[in-house]
Amino acid sequence: MDYLAQQLINGLTLGSIYGLIAIGYTMVYGIIGMINFAHGDVFMVGSFVSLICILLFGITGSTDIVIGIGILMIVAVIAMAISGVYGWTIERLAYRPLRGSFRLAPLITAIGVSIFLQNFVQETQGARVKPLQALFAGGFTLHEGTEFTVRITYMQILIVLLTIALMAGFSLLISRTSLGRAQRACEQDLKMTQLLGIDVDRTISMTFVIGAMLAAVAGLMYLLYYGVIDFFIGFSAGVKAFTAAVLGGIGSLPGAMIGGVLIGLIEVLFAAYFSSEYKDVAAFSMLIIVLIFMPQGLLGRPEIEKV
């Protein structure tokens, strides 16, 4: 029981990270109907920017926790800004010229952008894994069992709280602001939105920027949680987040959040009870199972053929 509780805490933390990345997939799919396969690599870029900033600011394991968290917030803002620029540029250069082209075209450029980003980071940052010493190593002991002790680390609390805050802010953006309203309108009828005077290109750009920003925070969290990153982390995290988006119902925002948490839990529980070497298999089998038996996902709408 204690063991299970511990795994649920770990799964929730990991799921928060996947959920934040999944939002970027689902939002872009909702509006322009493409899968942005470079999104995982934007997450990786965000992670590298975070690492560079943390080293520049000189936070170490012995930094006071309040000051440390303050600096981490600044790091998050910088990573969001730089990743946002990446997201904007990718959309502008690689996707917008192909809008209105056949459906496979943007998919292929997306894969191209993904390979480009991986190689770019590999070239400029080196291929070796980058370690970061553990920050705020402490935590709370929730339950002292005879064989097993349930703990929640400060880092896990930070990750989950930050995710909740970001998702709340993001939900407000979509439901309450005019930009969110325009995004929802674009999702339903791009052409009509344009004819009502809305600059659809800019709305789509903003969608990419917002998705990239959330992925950047996920990148920071991943770095803090695992303490080691390399240029290839975007691939597996990206595919898992994509799985999360599909599981939740691609195009649905609450679906992406729920799907993220579920994929995190599935991965952690599989690793805990079966085999940690095969944990990726669990997540990807999930993708196949969902696509075969429930292609519209948990909260997705059934596909309607557009006339």
Q: Give least dist CB 29 to another protein, A.
A: 16
CA–CA dist 23, 216 (Å, integer)? 12
Instruction: Say whether residue 229 binds another protein (CB under 8 A).
Output: no
Among positions 65, 104, 165, 192, the unique one binding another protein when judged by CB under 8 A: 192
CA distance from start to end of the chain:
53
Question: Which residues from 17-76 bind another protein, rule CB under 8 A?
Answer: none
Question: By CB under 8 A, which span of 22-30, 97-105, 177-185, 272-280 interacts with another protein?
Answer: 177-185
Binding of residue 164 to another protein (CB under 8 A)? no
Candidate segments 21-29, 133-141, 174-182, 282-290, binder of another protein by CB under 8 A: 174-182
Residue among 198, 223, 258, 268 that touches another protein (CB under 8 A) = 198
SS3 content of the chain, % helix, strand, coil (to 5): 75, 5, 20
Q: Look at residues 32, 5, 13, 36 and name the one whose alpha carbon lies nearest to residue 211.
A: 36
CB of 206 to another protein, least distance (A): 8
Q: Which of 191, 292, 304, 306 binds another protein (CB under 8 A)?
A: 191
Tokens of 276: 């940690």
CB nearer to another protein: give 60 or 188. Answer: 188
DSSP secondary structure string for all residues of 166-197:
HHHHHHHHHHHSHHHHHHHHHHH-HHHHHHTT
Task: Please name which of 235, 214, 220 lies closest in space to residue 115, comparing C-alpha atoms.
Answer: 235
Q: Which stretch binds another protein (CB under 8 A): 25-33, 129-137, 171-179, 267-275?
A: 171-179
Residue of 64, 123, 144, 199 interacting with another protein (CB under 8 A)? 199
The answer to whether residue 181 forms part of the interface with another protein (CB under 8 A) is yes
SS3 129: coil
Residues with Cβ within 8 Å of 198's Cβ and at least 6 positions away in sequence, in order, are 182, 185, 186
Token pair of 28 as six digits = 């872009």
CB 278 within 8 A of CB 270: yes
Instruction: Please tell me whether residue 97 binds another protein under the rule CB under 8 A.
Output: no
Least CB distance from residue 248 to another protein, whole Å? Answer: 18
CA geometry: angle 218, 253, 86, nearest 5 deg: 45
Instruction: State in angstroms the smallest separation of the CB of 196 from another protein.
Output: 5
Beta strands in the chain (DSSP E): 130-131, 139-144, 149-153, 228-229
Q: Give the range of 102-110, 140-148, 190-198, 266-274 binding another protein by CB under 8 A.
A: 190-198
100 binds another protein (CB under 8 A): no
Q: Which two tokens stand for residue 95?
A: 């996707």
**What residues make contact with another protein under the rule CB under 8 A?**
169, 172-173, 176-182, 184-185, 188-189, 191-200
